[in-house]
Structure 1
Amino acid sequence: MQAQELLEKYNAGNCTDAEKAIVETWYLDFQKEGLELSHTQLEGATDRIGERLFLHLEAEPSLVKKTLWPRIAAAAAVLLVTGVALYIFNSNHSSAIPDDLSAQANYGAAKPVLPGGNKATLILADGQKITLDEAGNGKLAEQSGITITKTKDGQLVYTVSAIAAAPGLKTGRNAAKTAMNTISTPKGGQYQINLPDGTKVWLNAASSLRYPTAFAGVDREVNLTGEAYFEVAKSQPAKSFKVSTSAQTVEVLGTHFNINAYADEPGTKTTLLEGAVKVWSKENTAGSLALKPGEQAELTATQLHVNYGKEEEAMAWKKGIFKFKDADLQSVMRSVARWYDLEVTYEGTLPRRQFSGEIHRSSNLSQVLDILSFYKVHFRVDGKQIIVTP
Structure 2
Amino acid sequence: MAILFKKYLNNECTPEETAALMAFMRSSKNRELVQSLLDDHLQDGEDKGWMYRAQTDRIFQRLNLNQDVEEAEVRSRTIRFTFLKTAAAILILASAWAVFIVSSPTKKEVTAARTAEDVLPGGNKAVLVLSDGQQVKLDSLQTGNPGDDESAVIKKSADGHIVYFAADNNKLKGFNTVRTPRGGQYEVALPDGSRVWLNAASSITYPAAFNAGERRVMLTGEAYFEIASLWRNNKKVPFVVETDRQKIEVLGTRFNVNAYDDETGIKTTLIEGKVKVTTENETVILKPNQQFNLDAEGISTKKVDVEPAIDWKNGDFLFADEDLKSVMRKIARWYNVEVIYDSEIPEESLSGQISRSRNLSEVLRMLELSGDTKFRIEDGAVHIFRPKK
Q: What does residue range 137-156 of structure 1 map to in structure 2 within 5 Å?
A: 137=143, 138-144=145-151, 146-156=152-162
Q: What does residue range 29-178 of structure 1 map to in structure 2 within 5 Å?
A: 56=30, 64=35, 68=38, 71=41, 82-83=80-81, 88=91, 92=95, 107-110=114-117, 112-137=118-143, 138-144=145-151, 146-161=152-167, 164=168, 173=170, 175-176=171-172, 178=173
Q: Could you tell me which residue of structure 1 aligns to residue 383 of structure 2?
A: 387
Counterpart of 2:373, as a letter, is V
Counterpart of 2:264, as a letter, is P
Over 3 Å counting, the alpha-carbon distance change for 1:369 and 1:180 in structure 2 is: same
Q: Residues 156-214 of structure 1: CA distance to partner in whole angstroms, max 9, x if unpaired?
A: 112344xx35xxxxxxx1x42x3211100111111111111111111111100001111
SS in 1 for 2:351: strand
In 1, the alpha carbon distance for the partners of 2:273 and 2:219 equals 20
Q: Which of structures 1 and 2 has the bigger CA Rg? A: 1
In 2, the alpha carbon distance for the partners of 1:71 and 1:38 equals 18
User: Is the CA contact (8 Å cut-off) linking 2:204 and 2:218 kept in structure 1?
Assistant: yes
Over 3 Å counting, the alpha-carbon distance change for 1:321 and 1:240 in structure 2 is: same
Q: Could you tell me which residue of structure 2 aligns to residue 200 of structure 1?
A: 195
> What runs of 5+ residues in structure 2 fail to find an aligned partner?
44-50, 64-68, 70-78, 101-110
Out of 75-84 and 337-346, give the one that drifted further: 75-84
Aligned equivalent of 2:284, options 289, 294, 302: 289
Cα deviation for residue 352 of structure 1 reads 2.4
Q: Does 1:188 align with 2:195?
A: no
Q: Residues 109-131 of structure 1: CA distance to partner in whole angstroms, max 9, x if unpaired?
A: 43x31111110011111111111
User: Is the CA contact (8 Å cut-off) linking 1:379 and 1:387 kept in structure 2?
Assistant: yes
Q: Could you tell me which residue of structure 2 aligns to residue 258 of structure 1?
A: 256
Over 3 Å counting, the alpha-carbon distance change for 1:95 and 1:116 in structure 2 is: closer
In 1, the alpha carbon distance for the partners of 2:190 and 2:284 equals 26
SS in 2 for 1:224: strand
User: Is the CA contact (8 Å cut-off) linking 2:99 and 2:352 kept in structure 1?
Assistant: no
Counterpart of 2:125, as a letter, is K
User: Is the CA contact (8 Å cut-off) linking 1:31 and 1:95 kept in structure 2?
Assistant: no
In 2, the alpha carbon distance for the partners of 1:252 and 1:244 equals 12
SS in 1 for 2:334: helix
Cα deviation for residue 152 of structure 1 reads 3.2
Counterpart of 1:289, as a letter, is V
Over 3 Å counting, the alpha-carbon distance change for 1:213 and 1:358 in structure 2 is: same
In 2, the alpha carbon distance for the partners of 1:327 and 1:344 equals 17
SS in 2 for 1:367: helix
Cα deviation for residue 141 of structure 1 reads 3.1
> What runs of 5+ residues in structure 1 fail to find an aligned partner?
1-23, 98-103, 166-172
In 2, the alpha carbon distance for the partners of 1:294 and 1:53 equals 36
Over 3 Å counting, the alpha-carbon distance change for 1:72 and 1:288 in structure 2 is: farther
Over 3 Å counting, the alpha-carbon distance change for 1:25 and 1:211 in structure 2 is: farther
SS in 1 for 2:270: strand
Cα deviation for residue 90 of structure 1 reads 6.5
Aligned equivalent of 1:272, options 264, 270, 273: 270
Q: Does 1:373 align with 2:373?
A: no
Q: Could you tell me which residue of structure 1 aligns to residue 245 of structure 2?
A: 247
Q: Residues 222-277 of structure 1: CA distance to partner in whole angstroms, max 9, x if unpaired?
A: 00001111111112453211000111110111111111111111111111111110
Counterpart of 1:116, as a letter, is G
SS in 2 for 1:142: coil
Cα deviation for residue 105 of structure 1 reads 9.1
User: Is the CA contact (8 Å cut-off) linking 2:257 and 2:266 kept in structure 1?
Assistant: yes
Q: Could you tell me which residue of structure 1 aligns to residue 105 of structure 2?
A: none
In 2, the alpha carbon distance for the partners of 1:275 and 1:330 equals 32
Over 3 Å counting, the alpha-carbon distance change for 1:116 and 1:95 in structure 2 is: closer
Over 3 Å counting, the alpha-carbon distance change for 1:123 and 1:372 in structure 2 is: same
Cα deviation for residue 67 of structure 1 reads 5.7
Counterpart of 1:107, as a letter, is R
Q: Could you tell me which residue of structure 1 aligns to residue 326 of structure 2?
A: 331
Q: Could you tell me which residue of structure 1 aligns to residue 316 of structure 2?
A: 321
TM-score (norm 2): 0.74
Counterpart of 1:350, as a letter, is I
Cα deviation for residue 326 of structure 1 reads 0.5
SS in 2 for 1:345: strand
SS in 1 for 2:149: strand
- Aligned pairs, number: 333
In 2, the alpha carbon distance for the partners of 1:150 and 1:115 equals 22
Cα deviation for residue 84 of structure 1 reads 8.4
Cα deviation for residue 365 of structure 1 reads 0.5
SS in 1 for 2:237: coil
Over 3 Å counting, the alpha-carbon distance change for 1:30 and 1:214 in structure 2 is: closer
Counterpart of 2:356, as a letter, is R
SS in 2 for 1:159: strand
What RMSD, in angstroms, separates the aligned Cα atoms of the two structures?
Answer: 3.8
User: Is the CA contact (8 Å cut-off) linking 1:296 and 1:308 kept in structure 2?
Assistant: yes
